[in-house]
Amino acid sequence: MMIMKRFFLIASLFVLIGFQAQAQNQYRKNYVIGFYNLENLFDIYNDPAKNDEEFLPDGKNKWTEAKYQKKVHNMAQVIRAMKDDNGAYHTILGVSEIENRNVLEDLVADPQIADANFQIVHYDGPDTRGVDVALLYRPDQFKYLDSESIPFSFEGTRVPITLDKQAQENFRTRDILMVRGTIDGEMYAFYVAHLPSRLGGKGGDLRSLGSEIIYKHARALERKYPGIKIAVMGDMNDNPFDESQAKWLHGRRTMEEMYRDDFFCPFYTMLEDGYGSLAYRGEWNIYDIIQVNYNMARAPHGGAKIRPIVKNKYYGRVFKKPFMTQQSGQYKGTPFRTFSSGTFIGGYSDHYPTYIVISK
């Protein structure tokens, strides 16, 4: 009889521990950190300082007010769908391929997501096409401190650069955005990048340069603010295993491989296992990468850290839904984009968004 009582006591204890763990997980406050390439979110107005002629009513894309409003609606629909899946809007959402602040003001005012009260951090950059990166944040969760638009510079680089001095002086691309603030009393820095294109099979050295610039800046922040948690996100135009990400940004495949001056890339193993954020010639890639520093991956001094969110195994998610995916034709199963072969088809983006979740 005594043995039976002891057995039930131990069993009850395990059940209680299980309920407590479930309750802690249920009431844990999660913060969603994500990135989305909005694929040419241009307005319909001519900006003489930018090469935006394709996106004018009389331009190559016949970019009318109706098409623009459809595009804004579609982008907001995806952001809303992620909110519905997660139960909350993103705390931080980095974006790329936006023409100016005005298009972001239209986006965050869309009725589908207006209740998020997203605030905008954006700088006009030097890109020849006129596209920039930016960051949206929820002011009820992220307390903004400062930001910086970091230009590309060839000065002091250790990357073997193929451009000659004249070409370096004439080179223009998107600046890198850094935004610093606090979440639940902890300091964070978020970098948003859109590294140089792969068009023509070129730019590998330039993407490595961009990653080196980010890495140096992040290490300086870590020295200035010990314990700061850092996430680097963007359309890197490279996969996690490419040199720009693995060597120059010190991106590691697993947390176990990390040293304190490394970053952890949750999308490395996801790509190996067949996930992708964009498809090119039948091959899936993850260019839409988010990497986190040691303080956010391991939280050595406590506080929030990255959590597994897919199958309790993967620390990142590629967000895709049927409405965001081409359902027929040659490109069936790939992201349902805005244009196809120069024709407006009313889709969303040629990239799926990606995100991570952090919590204490």
Lowest average pLDDT, out of 24-28, 171-175, 322-326, 355-359, goes to 24-28
Structure confidence at residue 202 (pLDDT): 77
Distance CA 90, CA 74 (A): 17
Does 25 have pLDDT greater than 80?
Answer: no
Per-residue pLDDT of 244-302, as tens digits, reads: 999 999 999 999 999 999 999 999 999 999 999 999 888 999 999 999 999 999 999 88
For 85, what's the count of Cα atoms within 13 Å in the CB-facing half-sphere? 17
How far are the Cα atoms of 7, 202, 260, 287, 329 from residue 71, in angstroms, in the given order? 62, 30, 42, 22, 22
Nearest to 171 by CA among 200, 205, 148: 205
Does 24 have pLDDT greater than 70?
Answer: no
Distance CA 270, CA 287 (A): 12
Structure confidence at residue 228 (pLDDT): 98
Structure confidence at residue 106 (pLDDT): 98
Does 71 have pLDDT greater than 80?
Answer: yes
Does 21 have pLDDT greater than 50?
Answer: no
Nearest to 222 by CA among 230, 214, 234: 230
Lowest average pLDDT, out of 19-23, 27-31, 69-73, 124-128, goes to 19-23
Q: What is the mean predicted confidence (pLDDT) over 322-333?
A: 94
Burial 243-260 (b: 16+ CB within 10 A, else e): ebbbebbbbbbebeebee
Distance CA 312, CA 272 (A): 17
In the numeric block, which tokens belong to residue 255?
């947390």
CB of 212 closer than 8 Å to CB of 220? no
> Phi and psi for 113 in degrees, rounded to 5?
-130, 5
Does 14 have pLDDT greater than 70?
Answer: no
Residues linked to residue 188 through DSSP beta bridges, in sequence order = 181, 229
Structure confidence at residue 49 (pLDDT): 86
Confidence of residue 314 (pLDDT cuts 50, 70, 90): very high
Q: What is the mean predicted confidence (pLDDT) over 238-248?
A: 98
Per-residue pLDDT of 150-187, as tens digits, reads: 999 999 999 999 999 999 999 999 999 999 999 999 99
Structure confidence at residue 340 (pLDDT): 87
Does 338 have pLDDT greater than 90?
Answer: yes
Per-residue pLDDT of 96-119, as tens digits, reads: 999 999 999 999 999 999 999 999
In the numeric block, which tokens belong to residue 22?
């479930």
> Phi and psi for 213 in degrees, rounded to 5?
-60, -45
Residue 87, burial from CB neighbour count under 10 angstroms (0-12, 13-18, 19+): exposed
Does 58 have pLDDT greater than 60?
Answer: yes
Per-residue pLDDT of 32-45, as tens digits, reads: 999 999 999 999 99
